[in-house]
Amino acid sequence: MATREAVPQPGGSGHHANIAGLVVGAIAALVLHYALNLGFFQRLGNYLPLMEKLSMSVFLVLVIQVAGRLVVRTIERGVASPGHRYNLLRIARLVTVILMLIVAASFLFQNLYAAAVSFGLISLVLGFALQAPITSFIAWLYLIFRRPFHVGDRIEVARFRGDVVEVNYLDTVILECSGVYLGNDRRSGRVLYIPNSLFLKEQVVNYAGPLEPFIWNETPLQIAFDSDLAFVEQCLHQAATDDFKERYPDLDAELPEHRPEVYFRVNTYAWLEAVISYPVEPTDTTGRRTRILVRALETLNRAPDRVKFPEGSAR
């Protein structure tokens, strides 16, 4: 069966130690904040309000960090789906960073109103200079909440096709399959970094549909018009069914969504095509097609009087 790439799990005792260290730091910052009211620190003079504000800012940042770590740990332990877990972790870390930036802004400015005005002016300037990255970030929000695909899915967008391994704030990383060097669906070994903005402009095809982990594929076999069509259909059907049973012994090969179908059509160049349609995992299209053809041709070639292949004028 196709597997999705999992999000790495936390490091156990090291993770707990990090949270404990942050808690100790937050308590120390809070103690320092109230200790500054003691007469001993009055000698700081004009620097005293700055130290009070700095200690409170450090305390709030550390509290946000602790809360973020706890949320991350809860998500990692409580969300079973790797794709959903990956998206929730991204959102949790982004919210943590935003809250820490708000605290930092309140420390740098006298009040949040001044911080908001300054942030608005800066955003206006950066909006023109960073239009493409901002569009990609908005597209990331669309990918997270609309969820057209998850990490581990095989997708196709524009002329790119591959397996999703990471969805970043500005780009999506996929392991390319097929591509310019291959004529099959195997991974090419190349890594593609696709700007998220492309997903707002192009149609996205997700291979993980309602029949997951399968999609339907077909393979044509060229034969002469005077071949025994019933025999050809039987051989192709049996080859696809035997391969399915061998590869998925726990699944019922006779279910409608698993049962292969054979049909015939006239080829553009005048011969006949026997086409076998069958369910296949997106990562196994090349392998399953090869196995079916090897099984079927072995049987068909043993009956040259019943099956004829295009040769000379025999069309």
Q: What is the mean pLDDT of residues 175-192?
A: 87
Comparing 61-65, 114-118, 285-289, 304-308, which segment has the lowest mean pLDDT?
A: 114-118
Statement to judge: residues 199 and 221 lie in one domain = no
Predicted confidence (pLDDT) at residue 120 exceeds the cutoff of 70: no
Statement to judge: residues 75 and 56 lie in one domain = yes
pTM (whole model) above 0.95? no
Statement to judge: residues 124 and 179 lie in one domain = no
The CATH number linked to 188 is 2.30.30.60
Given 181, 206, 231, the domain boundary residue is 206
Cα end-to-end span (Å), the chain? 40
Here the tokens at position 52 are 């009070």
Predicted confidence (pLDDT) at residue 33 exceeds the cutoff of 80: no
Domain containing residue 149: 145-206
Q: At CB < 8 A and 24+ separation, what contacts does 200-206 make?
A: 200/135, 200/138, 200/139, 200/142, 202/157, 202/158, 203/157, 204/148, 204/149, 204/155, 204/156, 204/157, 205/155, 205/156, 205/157, 206/148, 206/149, 206/153, 206/154, 206/155
Here the tokens at position 12 are 């156990």
Here the tokens at position 59 are 């305390």
Question: Over the stretch 280-297, which tens digit does the pLDDT of each residue have?
Answer: 999 899 999 999 999 999
Instruction: Cis check for the bond before 213: say yes or no (omega within 30 of 0).
Output: yes
Which pLDDT band holds residue 7 (cuts at 50, 70, 90)?
Answer: very low
Statement to judge: residues 173 and 93 lie in one domain = no
Here the tokens at position 136 are 């990609």
Q: Is residue 276, in this structure, part of any structural domain at all?
A: yes
Given 105, 129, 153, the domain boundary residue is 129
Which pLDDT band holds residue 275 (cuts at 50, 70, 90)?
Answer: very high
Q: Is residue 314, in this structure, part of any structural domain at all?
A: no
Q: Is residue 97, in this structure, part of any structural domain at all?
A: yes
Q: Is residue 264, in this structure, part of any structural domain at all?
A: yes
Question: Over the stretch 162-174, which tens digit does the pLDDT of each residue have?
Answer: 999 999 888 999 9
Statement to judge: residues 262 and 231 lie in one domain = yes
Q: Is residue 244, in this structure, part of any structural domain at all?
A: yes
Burial class (CB in 10 A: 0-12, 13-18, 19+), 15: middle
Structure-model confidence comparison of residues 104 and 14, the more confident one: 104
Given 166, 187, 206, the domain boundary residue is 206
Look at residue 204 in the predicted model and tell me its pLDDT: 93
Q: Is residue 44, in this structure, part of any structural domain at all?
A: yes
d(CA 23, CA 14): 14
Write out the DSSP string of the chain.
---PPPPPPP-THHHHHHHHHHHHHHHHHHHHHHHTTSGGGGGGGGGHHHHHHHHHHHHHHHHHHHHHHHHHHHHHHH---HHHHHHHHHHHHHHHHHHHHHHHHHHHSSSHHHHHHHHHHHHHHHHHHTHHHHHHHHHHHHHHHH-S--TT-EEEETTEEEEEEEE-SSEEEEEEES-SS-SSSSEEEEEEEEETTHHHHS-EEES--TTTT-EEEEEEEEE-TTS-HHHHHHHHHHHHHHHHHHH-TTS-TTSTTT--EEEEEE-TTSSEEEEEEEEE-GGGHHHHHHHHHHHHHHHHTT-TTT----BTTB-
Question: Over the stretch 197-235, which tens digit does the pLDDT of each residue have?
Answer: 999 999 999 998 888 889 999 999 999 888 999 999 999
Statement to judge: residues 236 and 169 lie in one domain = no
Q: What is the mean pLDDT of residues 132-145?
A: 86
Q: What is the mean pLDDT of residues 184-188?
A: 85
Statement to judge: residues 42 and 92 lie in one domain = yes
The total of structural domains in the chain comes to 3
d(CA 277, CA 171): 36
Look at residue 17 in the predicted model and tell me its pLDDT: 67
Look at residue 5 in the predicted model and tell me its pLDDT: 43
Which pLDDT band holds residue 125 (cuts at 50, 70, 90)?
Answer: low
Statement to judge: residues 188 and 263 lie in one domain = no
Of the CA atoms within 13 Å of residue 87, those in its CB half-sphere come to 18
Statement to judge: residues 175 and 83 lie in one domain = no
Burial class (CB in 10 A: 0-12, 13-18, 19+), 61: buried
The CATH number linked to 258 is 3.30.70.100
Statement to judge: residues 196 and 246 lie in one domain = no
Which pLDDT band holds residue 9 (cuts at 50, 70, 90)?
Answer: very low
Q: Is residue 7, in this structure, part of any structural domain at all?
A: no
Statement to judge: residues 121 and 32 lie in one domain = yes
Q: Is residue 258, in this structure, part of any structural domain at all?
A: yes
Here the tokens at position 199 are 């997903």
Here the tokens at position 190 are 């190349």
Predicted confidence (pLDDT) at residue 2 exceeds the cutoff of 50: no
Statement to judge: residues 159 and 200 lie in one domain = yes
Q: Are 64 and 99 in contact (CB under 8 A)?
A: yes
Predicted confidence (pLDDT) at residue 3 exceeds the cutoff of 50: no
d(CA 35, CA 32): 5
